[in-house]
């Protein structure tokens, strides 16, 4: 599935999809998701989220485009084109229609006011820049790029981290004077604010959207996959601090469960925007909106 997909929630929200489908064996992402423990989950039996024939989690890589009364915001800039990522074939030297897919919902790169990176892993910063005449330049020429203070302080001096993505997807933004380092509780505008969510990465943040009627959290990698809704203690092997990541997952699930609040994770496949319910077995996804 590719292209721009409208999502429920406050304001106007679209998902700009770069990849969706079977991606990796479950233990590649979540070491605890193996054997009987995995097979006993609701996720395992749900073909939207798990492909039993291939023994692969179904995942997506997408950016979230939010139109508020005052601004156009892109949350997480996905994979990007022409990025050297040889250790992940699906990410390596891509040539995809992300910009064209944005245009399909009436948004050009010049119209984006803010780009927000929930964290600085390579699959969340790729479209920060594009390669033009041999140079990496900001993709969104009129945007202010927002980066969490703790996240930047942790990664900026590690040239080898995150597939060297600081070099091609973050540093050029600062060199163009478009980068802004903000606190983890920064307010972009009324009803649109950051929420600290440290754990998956040292300075991970979420975006809270509240239009006075509906609330949604664009949560990045706080929850990678629906199996972690059932098992919040199952952290990914890519989490910086597994215990903090587990606590953060549990906290947000407890907060939104059995309410009208939406969660919009960075890697959930369709339907992506979900509500959460609770029962004697823990948490799961509400089937009706």
Between CA 289 and CA 276 the distance in angstroms is: 10
Strands 114-116 and 72-75, by their bridges, are: parallel
**Is residue 58 classed as helix, strand or coil in its secondary structure?**
strand
Domain boundaries, the chain: 3-285
Between CA 259 and CA 276 the distance in angstroms is: 8
Structure tokens at 50: 């798990």
Instruction: Label each residue of 98-164 as H, E or C.
Output: HHHHHHCCCCCHHHCCEEECCCCCHHHCHHHEEEECCEEEECCCCCEEEEEHHHHHHHCCCCCHHHH
pLDDT at 2: 62
* CATH fit for domain 3-285, picks 2.30.300.10, 1.10.287.470, 3.60.15.10, 3.40.109.10: 3.60.15.10
Mean pLDDT of 173-192: 98
pLDDT at 288: 53
Mean pLDDT of 34-52: 97
Chain-wide mean pLDDT for the chain? 96
pLDDT at 3: 80
Per-residue model confidence as pLDDT tens digits over 213-263: 999 999 999 999 999 999 999 999 999 999 999 999 999 999 999 999 999
Q: Does residue 162 carry a pLDDT above 50? A: yes
Q: Does residue 289 carry a pLDDT above 50? A: no
């Amino acid at each position: 599935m590719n292209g721009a997909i409208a999502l429920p929630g406050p304001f106007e929200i679209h998902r700009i999809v770069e990849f969706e489908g079977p991606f990796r064996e479950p233990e590649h992402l979540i070491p605890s998701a193996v054997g009987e423990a995995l097979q006993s989950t609701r996720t395992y039996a749900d073909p939207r989220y798990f492909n039993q024939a291939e023994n692969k989690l179904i995942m997506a890589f997408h950016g979230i485009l939010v139109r508020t009364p005052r601004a156009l915001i892109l949350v997480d800039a996905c994979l990007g084109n022409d990025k050297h990522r040889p250790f992940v074939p699906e990410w390596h030297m891509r040539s995809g229609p992300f910009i064209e897919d944005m245009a399909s919902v009436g948004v050009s790169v010049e119209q984006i006011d803010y780009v927000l990176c929930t964290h600085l892993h390579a699959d969340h910063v790729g479209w920060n820049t594009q390669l033009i005449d041999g140079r990496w330049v900001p993709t969104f020429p009129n945007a202010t790029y927002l980066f969490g203070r703790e996240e930047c302080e942790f990664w900026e001096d590690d040239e080898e981290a995150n597939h060297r993505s600081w070099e091609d997807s973050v540093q050029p933004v600062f060199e163009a004077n478009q980068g802004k380092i903000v606190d983890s509780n920064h307010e972009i505008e009324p009803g649109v604010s950051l929420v600290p969510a440290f754990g998956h990465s040292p300075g991970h943040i979420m975006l809270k959207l509240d239009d006075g009627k509906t609330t949604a959290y664009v949560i990045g990698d706080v929850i990678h996959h629906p199996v972690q809704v059932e098992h919040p203690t199952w952290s990914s092997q890519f989490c910086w601090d597994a215990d903090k990541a587990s606590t953060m997952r549990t906290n947000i699930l407890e907060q939104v469960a059995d309410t009208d609040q939406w969660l919009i994770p960075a890697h959930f496949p369709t339907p992506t925007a979900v509500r959460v319910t609770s029962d004697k077995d823990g948490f799961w996804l509400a089937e009706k909106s």
